[in-house]
Amino acid sequence: MGKRTRSFRSLAALFAGIFLFAPLLSAEGTAGDFFYDIGTKFGRGLENIVTSPAEIPCTMTGDIRNHGGFAGSFSGFGKGTLFMLRRMLVGVTEVGTFFIPMGRTIPRVCREAPAAIPD
């Protein structure tokens, strides 16, 4: 086998690889998408840290509406404090790992979470 035949086969394999695998590579995001996603995650993390204290009054309002009076305010304060700590932890984690883009893990503060499937 001559040198010319080997280089022709190598060139044919290169072109085949490019044309066969190009559609698979087109699904990859661009650098602009990456930077947009990490900026979004960083901002979302800061939003979660700053708005975390609002979890207490939001949860208290919901529990007072559902359970009424003193019992609702007491349980709402406890749950709101736990939700505030959870939101702070998620926010700190998102700010600390902003270079790894991912979607929102918890809804915005004072927004209803998606309805749970009944048992």
The per-residue pLDDT for range 11-47, each reduced to its tens digit, is 677 666 666 665 555 555 666 677 788 888 899 999 9
Q: What local confidence, expressed as pLDDT, does residue 56 receive?
A: 92
The per-residue pLDDT for range 48-88, each reduced to its tens digit, is 999 999 999 999 998 888 888 888 888 899 999 999 999 99
Query: What pTM does this model have?
Result: 0.65
Give the start-to-end residue ranges of the domains of the chain.
27-96
End-to-end CA distance of the chain: 71
CA distance linking residue 111 with residue 93, whole number of Å:
21
CA distance linking residue 43 with residue 94, whole number of Å:
9
Q: Is pLDDT at 116 greater than 70 in this prediction?
A: no
